[in-house]
Structure 1
Amino acid sequence: MTQTLRLSIAQMTSTNRHEGNIAWMEEAAAQAAEDGAQMLALPEASGLVNKDRDDALRLVVDHDADPFIAACREAAAKHGLWVQTGSTPVKGPDGVDGPRFLNHGDMIDPDGRIVAGYDKIHLFDIHLDGKPPTGESRRYGPGRRAVLADTPWGPAGLAICYDLRFPQLFRDYGQRGATLLFVPSAFTVPTGRAHWEVLLRARAIENGAFVIAAAQVGKHDDGRVTYGHSMVVNPWGEVLVDMGSDGPGLRTVDLNLDEVAAARRQIPSLQNGRDYSFDD
């Protein structure tokens, strides 16, 4: 396993059209390569942010035809980068109310090949006090499979945004040897302010792994506002990168994978778990 990963993490304000997001991603990939990065990590919905269902239905296509994914593959091959695409909506199976999407992310190698793909499992159906309900399941179908991507830096566990609140997914990744945990996100401002950092740090500490969480930020074309604060957290729970909420950008950081083994040796909670039962 390669012991050092130079990572560029992105923070975006994605638009409601693929073209602008592709152009931004291409510039970010070029900058990452200039910085000597080996991998570029993008946020959730990096390819398209569009809550207008009718408009989105005209734009969202099958995975194999998606222009943002194709552009990420081309950028990876052009610059010799690994690219974790964050996610973008692609066509999914129809639901009871008609067509639905999948919130899909890929891991792409430096030859432009997709080595792993993940569909967001846990959908953001919540009821914040004083705000209208958010029902992601009306537009999206759930993924069914947890996915570990093979990389030179060890197995990488793939997740997306609301998955962050389900610690067993990350524990399963950790117990299967994941050294990197990706959580590309588009957190709301209220939930981000209250929970974002503490949940990211908890997932890193619990599993002795690096957490890489590229995020959307600011006001988008469709009116939504996202929290920002793209973060990288090390296996001891220390925040190595916090990009704040001022706007889009790119940050490059070196990750020492020896820290994974050190954290797991000092606090071997992945091995110390015990079976238990409830008294009825």
Structure 2
Amino acid sequence: MTTPIQSKSPDHKPVQQTVRIAAVQYLLRSIKDWDEFENQVRFVMKAAGDYKPQFVMFPEIFTTQLLSFMDTNDLRKAVRGLDEFTERYTQLFVELAKQWGMYIIGGSHPTITDGKLLNTAYLFSPEGQIFTQDKIHLTRWEKEKWQGDPGQHVRVFDTAYGRISILICYDIEFPELARMVCEQGADIIFVPSCTDDKQGFWRVRYCCHARAIENQVYVAVTGTVGNLTVEGLGLHFGQGAIITPSDFPFARDGVAAEGVPNMEQIVIADVDLSKLVSNRINGTTIPLYDKRVSVYETDVEVIQA
């Protein structure tokens, strides 16, 4: 399902310089069947597609909306039951990506692979291809309540509009992952997220800003809003944003665009990839290249003081 990507240097030149990103603040409302889910997704894609973005991103595990018409007395079993919708989910987004001629980061969807429950993000191309990125670091809820399994590999994807990566929610809180993909030339990191409270939201949001600064990269983040009568999904705090490095060529506060918290809407912004190339060479600081690798390869000295 996933095609290997050949490495390039971090300063590779993307095909198109100006890229439009649409981040969906997806409203979790109770539904009665698959058709209601599909109708909502199609409505959102029509609203986003009219603005002709190159990328549309949905939030992490937004397909848990399907649990609202499933038996959730045994939550562990119910979440695994979502995998039964994987084929319909992928078929829907393959159709939409081809219809609108754009890349869709289809949020993430609980997927059983080789007997393991993975939190898998799907990337759908305009040509109908499907690529995946599993969540590497699981939250306590995912480990203890869902008894999920972590992913093992980080990927970057070459697209017609630059090289991208997907780090799912908690994964953006680990600087090493973002540095790995940026050292392989990522221009944009997409962060589909799902947080239940404001503390969790700000953990992810602040880390998105940090990763954008550390790696001189654009970071797009979005989350679920609304609520479901399902254990663990009763509350959500979400706000989409397109985040830039903090330097003169970019937005003053490092925010190209952001939504109104906890409202159903789509956040849209244009980003100029050529500015990244220039900033990584001529920036006020150049943290992507200033990392002293030799120091990082030495042991930390422990001094008794």
TM-score (norm 1): 0.86
Alignment RMSD (CA, Å): 2.1
Q: CA deviation at 1:23?
A: 2.1
SS in 1 for 2:159: coil
Q: 1:142–1:15: structure 2 CA closer, same or farther, 3 Å change rule?
A: farther
Q: Which stretch of the first structure deviates more once superposed, 16-25 or 201-210?
A: 16-25
Taking the aligned partners of 1:135 and 1:31, their CA distance within structure 2 comes to 32
Structure 1 residue aligned with 2:199, among 175, 191, 196? 191
Q: How many residues align?
A: 264
Q: Is the 8 A contact 2:54 2:161 kept in 1?
A: no
Which residue of 246, 258, 271 maps to 1:255? Answer: 271
**Partner residue, 2:8:** none
Find the residue that maps to 1:164 and give its secondary structure: helix
Aligned partner of 1:23 among 39, 53, 62: 39
Alignment of 1:1-280 (within 5 A): 1-14=15-28, 18-49=34-65, 50=67, 52-61=75-84, 65-94=86-115, 100-114=116-130, 116-125=131-140, 134-136=141-143, 138-222=146-230, 223-236=233-246, 238-265=254-281, 266=283, 267-274=285-292, 275-276=294-295, 277=298, 278-280=300-302
Q: Is the 8 A contact 2:241 2:258 kept in 1?
A: yes
**Rounded Cα–Cα distance in structure 1 between residues aligned with 2:37 and 2:279:** 37
CA separation in 2, counterparts of 1:245 and 1:269? 31
SS at match of 1:244: coil
Q: Tell whether the 8 Å contact from 2:169 to 2:204 is kept in structure 1 after alignment.
A: no
SS in 2 for 1:77: helix
Secondary structure in structure 2 of the residue aligned to 1:225: coil
Structure 2 residue ranges without an equivalent (≥5): 1-14, 247-252
Letter in 2 for 1:87: S
Instruction: Output the CA distance in 1 between the equivalents of 2:240 and 2:262.
Output: 11
Report the residue type matching 2:107 in the other structure. Answer: G
How far, CA to CA, are the matches of 1:194 and 1:42 in structure 2?
19
Show CA shifts across 1:68-118 (max 9, x none). 222111111111121111111111344xxxxx521111211112211x210
**Distance change >3 Å, CA 195–CA 59, structure 1 → 2:** closer
Secondary structure at the residue paired with 2:122? strand
Which whole-Å CA distance do the structure 1 matches of 2:81 and 2:206 have between them? 38
Distance in 2 between the 1:260 and 1:239 partners? 15
Cα distance in 2, alignment partners of residues 122 and 19 from structure 1: 32
8 A Cα contact 1:15 1:21, kept in partner: no
Alpha-carbon distance, 1:211 to partner? 0.3
Unpaired segments ≥5 residues, structure 1:
95-99, 126-133
2:133 maps to amino acid: Y
Q: Using a 3 Å threshold, how does the CA distance of structure 1 residues 149 and 21 change in structure 2: closer, same or farther?
A: farther
Contact 1:218 1:245 in 2 (8 A): no
In the superposition, relative to structure 1, how do residues 246 and 227 fare at CA in structure 2: closer, same or farther (>3 Å)? Answer: closer
- 1:146/1:228 CA distance change after superposition, 3 Å: same
Percentage of pairs with the same residue: 24
Q: Quick one: which amino acid aligns to residue 161 of structure 2?
A: W
* 190 and 37 in structure 1: CA distance in 2 versus 1, 3 angstrom threshold: closer
Deviation at 1:27, TM superposition (A): 1.4
Q: Does structure 2 conserve the Cα–Cα contact (< 8 Å) formed by 1:153 and 1:179?
A: no
Structure 2 CA distance, aligned partners of 1:135 and 1:197? 20
